[in-house]
Amino acid sequence: MRVAELPLRVLMGPGPSPVDPRVLEALAQPTLGHLDPAFLTLLDQLRSELRSVYGTRNTVTLPMSGTGSLGMETCLVNLLEPGDRILVGVNGVFGTRMCEVARRLGAEVSRVDAPWGRALDPDDLRRGLRDGPFKLLALVHAETSTGVLQDLAPLRALADEAGALLLVDTVTSLGGVAVDLDAHGVDASYSGTQKCLSCPPGLAPISLSERALNVVRARRTPIASWYMDLTLIGQYWGAERVYHHTAPINMLFALERALSLVLEETLPVRFERHRRHAAALAAGLEALGLVLPVPEASRLPPLTLVSVPAGVDEGAVRQTLLSRYNLELGAGLGQFAGKAWRIGLMGAGATRENVTLCLTALSEALREQGFATNPDAVARAHAVLDGEQVSRA
Amino acid sequence: MRVAELPLRVLMGPGPSPVDPRVLEALAQPTLGHLDPAFLTLLDQLRSELRSVYGTRNTVTLPMSGTGSLGMETCLVNLLEPGDRILVGVNGVFGTRMCEVARRLGAEVSRVDAPWGRALDPDDLRRGLRDGPFKLLALVHAETSTGVLQDLAPLRALADEAGALLLVDTVTSLGGVAVDLDAHGVDASYSGTQKCLSCPPGLAPISLSERALNVVRARRTPIASWYMDLTLIGQYWGAERVYHHTAPINMLFALERALSLVLEETLPVRFERHRRHAAALAAGLEALGLVLPVPEASRLPPLTLVSVPAGVDEGAVRQTLLSRYNLELGAGLGQFAGKAWRIGLMGAGATRENVTLCLTALSEALREQGFATNPDAVARAHAVLDGEQVSRA
């Protein structure tokens, strides 16, 4: 098979999301050297744009040369030393993963759990922090495994009570939901490029506060990973321009273009677009007769969890959508494996076209499996889109 | 600055190397999901091609989701446990880096040194191994900091005498010089995409033998890095297709295309092309009156080290070539910083055009700094190219 023979898909899973052709064009720009003055100028611009999207003035705001999970590990390997204590809020796969990564680094891991599909209760976190001291309080802002959005507002005060740094996973929120690191007092965050930034996967934007960097500088033990050592990587991104590793040049071209498109749209307009299309999709799915397990107040606009009805073969439905419409939905993950689909409306994919196609195709595939759906679902979704557009005019 | 406004460079540094337009086209193919059946078919094909280029049947032969240095760390973090002993052959920056990475992982590091610009002496390695036992003998096949090629032939026997696994850095050899992992009994190797494979930077091909995997499986302690854990990553690349992290889809499109181009050319033809153009460049540089510090028998065809003549401002020369010809040469690194240039003829860059441009431009810039050059240098290089072409016809 040639790459050029690969199918063209409508990506409505948990990421990667559809990539704007202008980003693909930037990706394919001829490669430059990682110390080329023109490339370094572009890096400065990228960093400035990334700070705007993150809502931070943090000096160390940069994309790590790997995927989102490398971003997670980068934050933990720089901040944690063997024996350090971390409290992780867990309500899905990615909170669970943070525990695992921290444990491998020799940290002592405590966790506060919420049921999958629910946000963590700040009071539960407060109780968990009473067993402190903890060096780090870590949570997932946007749980990609469940489609739950965690409110960041109360977390800084909780971390302060415990004297802990605050680490937040923003993989599926950055660029699609307000993150505002500085306003929320977040000390460290990591994300991915292939969700609401609508860039291919391969980079992990991170940001660390001055307070977090001071903790890194005060370490008693070396950072276990050379590749992820932010004291070294910062010297390439800083004025020194010291070579550390060869930057993934073309992916950085693409990310710069993707960030500039986010800022051209403006963050408020982009967040509202994600919110509106998710609301329309939810209305349509419920009109089809489907159940959304996440309470409305905790729903993550870029990613909607929807239960597979009893008697329906979830894999067969996804297979039908893929082969008939080139439409990719996400399977359930972890506790939701086989029980739910995950439908992404991220970045360039949060469109009326995608909402319409998804509801139409899903309705058809469900009917073929004997599940009666309401033919008005698409109209209900459009009413949300149009009604709100009118009310905003 | 827009990405589209970036300059087009002739990349003749230590990598990234020039990327074939067909690889850039593959890179910009619309993104697919990391579990899309069509994408998984492409991954199988990529792995098969990578095995051919590496000269191995190793099951675990795959590109890690990061740059070459992540490949180094992946091999070490999987194979080494705290307290394990490793012997590293050091004759440049990348051997030094292996020591540093291994030390951070808690290994006990011994080293055998050779002067920078020289290959390691097998007898020195044998003496070093007498202080064993060592779990790992590690060397750099192609030292990117010095342009030295290490002969792999005697290493397996040395490692066997010591009962050690053999780890080899093939970052600047894979695709440009014969590597033949299985023939040389190499247990673990890592490389990068941005050298002789002529793909953008961002992936680190690795390969581990069954013997190396058995060592990983027999570990007493968990692998410190979750992101680099090959027992988990192998489940995504294997028949199970278990999600680990989101693969860098578009970079994998590009790598597959780059590998297919390598195999279309055939390895023997490609290696001979690298050898011939490097010989021509060396003849031309020496004709200019320049000194090549590496003895001819140890020279690495894809990367030539050339001394900066006394009285010449090395940075000013590189700046002139960049601004006047968009031609990038590499600066010296480590012990050679300020003392040498590194000239790459890698992959798509190993061409008559590049040899000619480099000699012409360098001659001009040197004359402007008062260094008298021989005007016949280009002709001498062409004689090597043409003479050998005739002799092969």
Q: How far is CA A109 from CA A90, A154, A159, in A?
A: 12, 22, 16
Produce one character per residue of B51-83: b if its CB has 16 or more CB atoms within 10 Å, e if not.
Answer: bebbbbebbbbbbbbbbbbbbbbbbbbbbbbee
Q: What is the pLDDT of residues A30-58, one digit of tens each?
A: 999 999 999 999 999 999 999 999 999 99
> Residues B162, B251: one domain?
yes
Query: ipTM > 0.95?
Result: yes
Torsion angles phi and psi, residue B294, rounded to 5: -85, 130
Domain membership of residue B38 (yes or no) is yes
Q: What is the pLDDT of residues A332-343, one digit of tens each?
A: 999 999 999 999
Q: How far is CA B383 from CA B269, B276, B287, B352, B376, in A?
A: 19, 11, 12, 11, 11
Residue of B287, B241, B245, B298 whose CA lies nearest to B115: B298
CB contact under 8 A, A225 and B223: no
* A388 band by pLDDT with thresholds 50, 70 and 90: low
> Residues A43, A135: one domain?
yes
CA separation for the pair A64, A46 (Å, rounded): 13
Q: In percent, how much of chain A has pLDDT > 90?
A: 96
Residue of A188, A192, A93 whose CA lies nearest to A148: A93
**Contact residues, chain B, for A198 at CB < 8 Å:** none
Q: Is A370 on the interface with B (CB under 8 A)?
A: no
Residue B150: the pLDDT is 98
Pairing of strands B204-208, A136-140: unpaired
Residue to test with chain B: of A246, A249, A303, most B Cβ within 10 A: A246
Domain membership of residue A46 (yes or no) is yes
Domain membership of residue B16 (yes or no) is no
Domain membership of residue B1 (yes or no) is no
Q: What is the pLDDT of residues B93-114, one digit of tens each?
A: 999 999 999 999 999 999 999 9
Chain-centre distance for alpha carbon B76? 17
pLDDT at B390 over 80: no
Cα Rg of chain A, angstroms: 21
Bridge partners for A190 per DSSP: A169, A206
Residue A296: the pLDDT is 98
CA separation for the pair A27, B199 (Å, rounded): 12
Produce one character per residue of A237-269: b if its CB has 16 or more CB atoms within 10 Å, e if not.
Answer: beeeeebbbbbbbbbbbbbbbbbbbbeeeebee
pLDDT at A181 over 90: yes
CB contact under 8 A, A26 and B45: no
CA separation for the pair A243, A223 (Å, rounded): 18
**Contact residues, chain A, for B227 at CB < 8 Å:** 66, 69-70, 73, 101
> Residues A363, A282: one domain?
yes
Q: Is A275 on the interface with B (CB under 8 A)?
A: no
Q: How close is the nearest chain B Cα to the Cα of A388, in Å?
A: 32
For residues B12-23, give the mean pLDDT: 98
pLDDT at B53 over 80: yes
Chain-centre distance for alpha carbon A55? 15
> Residues B141, B129: one domain?
yes
Residue A390: the pLDDT is 47
Q: Residue window 287-346, chain A: list those with CB within 8 Å of chain B.
A: 322, 328, 331, 333
In this structure, the number of other CB atoms found within 10 A of the CB of residue B84 comes to: 21
CA separation for the pair B268, B56 (Å, rounded): 16
CA separation for the pair A88, A96 (Å, rounded): 8
3-class SS of residue A369: coil
Determine contact, residues B279/B384, Cβ cutoff 8 Å: yes
**Contact residues, chain B, for A45 at CB < 8 Å:** 1
Q: Mean pLDDT, chain A, as a whole number? A: 96
Domain harbouring A326, CATH code: 3.90.1150.10
Angle at A100 (CA atoms; ends A95, A104), nearest 5 degrees: 150
Produce one character per residue of A146-170: b if its CB has 16 or more CB atoms within 10 Å, e if not.
Answer: bbbbbebeebbebbeebebbbbbbb
Beta carbons within 8 Å of B58's beta carbon, 6+ residues apart = B51, B181, B182, B207, B208, B209, B210
Domain harbouring A221, CATH code: 3.40.640.10
Q: Residue window 166-225, chain B: list those with CB within 8 Å of chain A.
A: 192, 194, 200-202, 222-225
CA separation for the pair B305, A318 (Å, rounded): 55
Beta carbons within 8 Å of A290's beta carbon, 6+ residues apart = A306, A307, A309
Residue A392: the pLDDT is 43
Domains contained in chain B, number? 2
Domain membership of residue A10 (yes or no) is no
> Residues B228, B289: one domain?
no
Residue type, B242: V
Residue B388: the pLDDT is 56
Residue B392: the pLDDT is 43
Residue of B94, B103, B107 whose CA lies nearest to B139: B94
> Residues B74, B220: one domain?
yes
Q: Which domain holds residue B354?
A: 267-392
CB contact under 8 A, B66 and A8: no
pLDDT at A208 over 70: yes
Give the end of a domain, one of B214, B238, B264: B264
Q: Which of A25, A66, A222 has its CB closest to that of B65?
A: A66
Q: Which of B19, B32, B65 has its CB closest to that of A67?
A: B65
For residues A172-182, give the mean pLDDT: 98
Determine contact, residues B142/B150, Cβ cutoff 8 Å: yes
**Contact residues, chain A, for B77 at CB < 8 Å:** 225
> Residues B286, B167: one domain?
no
Q: Is A393 on the interface with B (CB under 8 A)?
A: no
DSSP one-letter code for B294? S
**Contact residues, chain B, for A3 at CB < 8 Å:** 26, 29, 42, 253, 256-257
Q: Is A11 on the interface with B (CB under 8 A)?
A: yes
CA separation for the pair B107, B86 (Å, rounded): 7
Chain-centre distance for alpha carbon B175? 9
Q: How far is CA B334 from CA B91, B296, B329, in A?
A: 11, 21, 16
Q: Is B250 on the interface with A (CB under 8 A)?
A: yes
CB contact under 8 A, B226 and A200: no
Determine contact, residues A294/A287, Cβ cutoff 8 Å: no
Domain membership of residue B2 (yes or no) is no
**Contact residues, chain B, for A101 at CB < 8 Å:** 226-227
**Contact residues, chain A, for B41 at CB < 8 Å:** 1
Determine contact, residues B44/B183, Cβ cutoff 8 Å: no
Domain membership of residue B10 (yes or no) is no
Q: Is A66 on the interface with B (CB under 8 A)?
A: yes
pLDDT at B346 over 70: yes
In this structure, the number of other CB atoms found within 10 A of the CB of residue A382 comes to: 17
Cα separation of the two ends of chain A? 49
* Run of H or E residues at A254: helix A249-265
CA separation for the pair A384, A379 (Å, rounded): 9
Residue of A206, A212, A209, A259 whose CA lies nearest to A228: A206
Q: Is B383 on the interface with A (CB under 8 A)?
A: no
**Contact residues, chain A, for B104 at CB < 8 Å:** 222-226
Residue of A nearest to B32 (CA): A9
CB contact under 8 A, B33 and A26: no
Could you tell me the pTM of the whole model? 0.97
> Residues A122, A244: one domain?
yes
Q: Residue A196 has which token pair?
A: 């609401």
pLDDT at A216 over 80: yes
Residue recorded with tokens 């010591």: B162
Q: What is the pLDDT of residues A73-130, one digit of tens each?
A: 999 999 999 999 999 999 999 999 999 999 999 999 999 999 999 999 999 999 999 9
pLDDT at B393 over 70: no
Torsion angles phi and psi, residue B236, rounded to 5: -80, -45
Give just the sign of the alpha carbon dihedral A291, A297, A301, A303: negative
pLDDT at B118 over 60: yes
Give the end of a domain, one of A230, A248, A264: A264
**Contact residues, chain B, for A227 at CB < 8 Å:** 66, 69-70, 73, 101
CA separation for the pair B215, B219 (Å, rounded): 6
Determine contact, residues A69/A97, Cβ cutoff 8 Å: yes
Contacts A–B by Cβ distance under 8 A:
235
> Residues A136, A92: one domain?
yes
For residues B347-366, give the mean pLDDT: 98
pLDDT at B263 over 70: yes
> Residues A252, A284: one domain?
no
CA separation for the pair A77, B141 (Å, rounded): 30
CB contact under 8 A, B66 and A227: yes
CA atoms within 13 A on the CB side of A44: 12
3-class SS of residue A10: strand
Q: Residue window 105-164, chain B: list those with CB within 8 Å of chain A.
A: 105-106
Domain membership of residue A9 (yes or no) is no
Give the end of a domain, one of A264, A297, A314: A264
> Residues B77, B92: one domain?
yes
Bridge partners for A62 per DSSP: A206
> Residues A215, A320: one domain?
no
* Helix, strand, coil % in chain A, rounded to nearest 5: 45, 15, 40
Torsion angles phi and psi, residue A174, rounded to 5: -55, 120
